[in-house]
Homo-oligomer: A and B are copies of this chain.
């Protein structure tokens, strides 16, 4: 990558302020920007760095109003993140250099492969599976029978997709993700043994879902485990059988959702949070990291914390007293003595 501000602004349909001949070789964080790099200002929290960064070019929003002098050449664009993505595409970064169906991939003759699909080495597309146009299946991926994957998806190496799973368009599944494994369903027998309950449902993942590395989504016992449109799942998350995650909900790493629980739309779930099974969580619920949610949340847009979880501010208030419980306990002992003295 070596490019002038002038050419960049053309690619990004932006407007230049400063030296159009400024040259950059690669990207940098705004707070660490060095000469010869391009930085981005999108989050207003970082605005102060715009006035100190040593980057040669700074990508900013069209309506950015500098409060102080800015040293780099500015390129104003409509959407900073989209511009970064466009730049990366332009330079071919973030995409594999290989294309097409590798000779060492296995595609079952009864699989349906769309146009411009790429399938990497040692990947398997099983019988009656369908891969939509433009999707990229990295190496060492397993796509079982009757799995349907939409258009423009990316499945990173080692992803394993069990039979009958349905995945929408523009989904990204990171390395070693597992989708469609058996739900954890066992019927306890009188002698204490467990009998496996057949897991004959499936998993449905709608459009624009991203799933982090090593996350697991179990198939339904019957029916479907459903991940709605635009959901973002971080790494190492557990989604049990028959769970439904509402559209545009984001869940941080290592959270776990037990069987048949239904999470609303546009929720924000912190890392390592856990939900018991068979409850419903209202739209817009915010769950603090490590919380344990053991009953339904019916009111929308509330924030909860604790294990078991309670309203966020209530938890903080209770925990503030928890921190000084020894003192409270001492006070009570003191009062006891004083009352005993008074009673004499």
A contact residues vs B (CB 8 Å cutoff): 27-29, 32, 42-43, 81-82, 84-85, 88, 93-94, 96-97, 104, 106, 120-122, 124, 127, 138-140, 142, 144-145, 156-158, 160, 162, 172, 174-176, 178, 181-182, 184, 186-187, 192-198, 200, 208, 210, 212-214, 216, 218, 221-223, 230, 232, 234-236, 238, 240, 248, 250, 252-254, 256, 258, 265-266, 271-272, 274, 276, 289-290, 292, 307-308, 310, 314, 317-326, 328-329, 331-332, 335-336, 338-339, 342-343
A187 touches B235 (CB 8 A): no
User: Complex: how many Å from CA A210 to CA B184?
Assistant: 9
Shortest Cβ gap from A297 to chain B (Å) = 16
A181 touches B335 (CB 8 A): no
B160 touches A194 (CB 8 A): no
Shortest Cβ gap from A80 to chain B (Å) = 9
Q: How many copies of this kind of chain does the complex include?
A: 3
Partner of A213, one of B178, B195, B318, B335: B178
A124 touches B121 (CB 8 A): yes
Partner of A238, one of B124, B253, B307: B253
A140 touches B124 (CB 8 A): yes
B142 touches A157 (CB 8 A): yes
A174 touches B181 (CB 8 A): yes
Known A192-B266, A252-B258, A271-B274; judge A142-B158 contact (CB<8 A).
Answer: yes
B216 touches A235 (CB 8 A): yes
